[in-house]
Structure 1
């Protein structure tokens, strides 16, 4: 099971230190209660104001190290080399597997506890204060919806990364063709079927007892305000479309030809 970037960021503060665990828990509660504001991310630093017990909020800064240019070369190579990474990044989603593949190549996208430094005004707490944990949770919340906060903290923002990826791909094309040459593509299956369509086995299907059972199970979507339920409105359309699809696949005019006997009947 893949761990999300937000959860992985949270896990950086984990460990056997019971005092740290307590402060992390309190820091998360501080963030969730709305007492962390003015969150600002920059290369190597995140700052915010955290409302504590006094009237004036604490100005808190958390610093993490930047990735070196050599480390970024590894990350950009991975992003430029895999379509699924680029597609997810462009869509604003974390590239699943990127952090693990980068780590296997010797580059850690996520910092370790030992690499973090916190300046928390006059909070009087050490080594990792509650207000620092609150700011850490604010970053985790952003990573729950976008991968770019982590990449920015590690040294490069969205526009820079996208330019680097495009440049790396152009360089790769200049040094040689990417992918498979056209003349080596097997046209069988692209322009003609690999085997007679009549030989393709179509599994027998069981006709549900009710139309569009998925709609019945899922119920109305959130905010639905129609006079009819979603199942009543769309059920006949789904059932009709399924019947037409069965006719196209099998050439059967009668639904009964496709029905397997129900052992419960």
Structure 2
């Protein structure tokens, strides 16, 4: 293994974050956080680390092969030199990884676009190349006297590193041993792996031209759009309403065919759906808004209350507290699946998401799309 110091990248210090700011919005960033939290044996130190990270007490971060480093200012009234070591990949592992990247044109394009494809990580794992860290892969080292593994300073550094990973997956590849430019250069000119190893590669040009031009494949099926019904007026028949119902039925049939799921709606739910999809004035403004934000579940949390399992509410309270690291979270008046904070109310749906409502003229109105983290909505 090698450690190319010239590949090191520096990142400016993150400023103090607003309440409710989350760590790791990308799936690979969350995998990084999971490796950190699964390794830790002290939740108190992790909580301190999150607070340090969000309050801007970590200095500029340097990322180099196998090493994440920064100077932290939190605690002990002195600067602490903090390093987190990550095992680098060997030459054979890099060769196998580059084979997986080159095997699909979209992989390198996704990486350059700031995405880490799921199938690339899975293919790399099948080839024996661990890209994402797991329990024990992050080795912290700090000048502070705390014996925690990791200490609060190393935890803060790892939490902030998740923001770097969100923005650029090449940061993870650099930690594993190779920088962006080195990887791009290695991929240039790399041919696709031959799936039929040991057979003749390609066809001679003279032989290929002698085959002539093969026939074109059959054209893809043409998707026919729904044609509105052409009905003549008739006594006692609301032609406009029939057109709306026919269009709605066609849309529902298409949805069921594509999704393969059958959702049975009550008469009221179907009336709300029609009003929401076709802008019909049926005196159901609140219900229509709830449907547009959350469909059947959005309508359910508007119409009725229920008591979620205690573990689900406990998880939500932990998310709420984590969103206000370093600050006291807002006081919540809780009743069943409804949390009220002043003129804002969150209602927990059976789909595991919180739906925001706002108080207007004495009535609670749906106020936006749902989220799994209540701190996002209260922020």
**TM range, smaller chain:** 0.5 to 0.7
Equivalence map 1:45-60=2 (5 Å): 45-60=67-82
Whole-angstrom distance in 1 between the partners of 2:215 and 2:100: 30
User: Which moved further from structure 2: 61-70 or 118-127?
Assistant: 118-127
- 1:144 alignment partner, SS class: helix
Distance 1:12 1:83, change over 3 A: same
The offset of 1:177, in angstroms, is 4.9
User: What per-residue deviation string (whole Å, max 9, x for no partner) do you get for residues 61-115 of structure 1?
Assistant: 1111110111111110011111111111122322332222211222111233323
CA distance in 1, matches of 2:116, 2:242: 44
Where in structure 1 are there 5+ consecutive unaligned residues? Answer: 208-258
Cα distance in 2 for partners of 1:168, 1:159 equals: 15
Q: In 2, Cα distance between the equivalents of 1:25 and 1:125?
A: 16
Q: Which stretches of structure 1, 4 residues or more, deviate above 3 A after TM superposition?
A: 175-178, 181-187
Structure with the bigger RCO (C-alpha within 8 Å, sep 6+) is: 1
Residue aligned with 2:117, SS: coil
Q: Quick check: 2:35–2:137 contact (8 Å CA) kept in 1? A: no
In structure 2, stretches of 5+ residues that fail to align are 1-25, 195-199, 230-240, 246-273, 275-279, 281-379
Corresponding residue of 1:221: none
- CA–CA separation in structure 2 for the residues paired with 1:157 and 1:200: 46
Q: Which has the higher helix share?
A: 1
Q: TM-score, normalised by structure 1?
A: 0.65
Counterpart residue number, 2:32: 9
- Report the CA distance shift for 1:143/1:206 in structure 2 as closer, same or farther (over 3 A): farther
Q: Given the superposition, is the C-alpha separation of residues 60 and 202 from structure 1 closer, same or farther in structure 2, using an over 3 Å criterion?
A: same
Match of 1:215 in 2: none
Alpha-carbon distance change, 150 to 122 in structure 1, aligned in 2, over 3 angstroms: same
**Structure 2 counterparts to residues 1-265 of structure 1, below 5 A:** 4-15=27-38, 19-169=41-191, 176-177=201-202, 187-189=215-217, 194=219, 200=222, 202-205=224-227, 261-263=243-245
Residues in 2 aligned to 1:184 and 1:47: alpha-carbon distance in whole angstroms: 61
Q: Which has a greater percent of strand? A: 2
8 Å Cα contact 1:60-1:118 kept in structure 2 = yes
2:63 partner SS: strand
* Structure 2: distance between partners of 1:139 and 1:177: 45
Flag the 1:20–1:110 CA change in 2: closer, same or farther, 3 A: farther
Kept in 2, the 8 Å contact 1:43–1:152? The answer is yes
Q: How many residues in Structure 1 have an aligned counterpart in Structure 2?
A: 202
Change beyond 3 A, Cα 1:108–1:262: same
Please, what TM-score do these two structures have when normalized by structure 2? 0.47
CA-to-partner distance for each residue in 1:233-255, whole Å, 9 max, x for gaps? xxxxxxxxxxxxxxxxxxxxxxx
Q: CA 1:90–1:16 in structure 2 vs 1: closer, same or farther (change >3 Å)? A: closer
Is the Cα–Cα contact under 8 Å of residues 103 and 192 in structure 2 kept in the other structure? no
Alpha-carbon RMSD across the aligned residues, in angstroms, is 3.4
Residue deviations 1:197-239 (CA, integer Å, cap 9, x gap): xx956232459xxxxxxxxxxxxxxxxxxxxxxxxxxxxxxxx
Structure-2 change in CA distance of 1:194 and 1:99 (3 Å): closer
1:86–1:95 contact (8 Å) kept in structure 2:
no
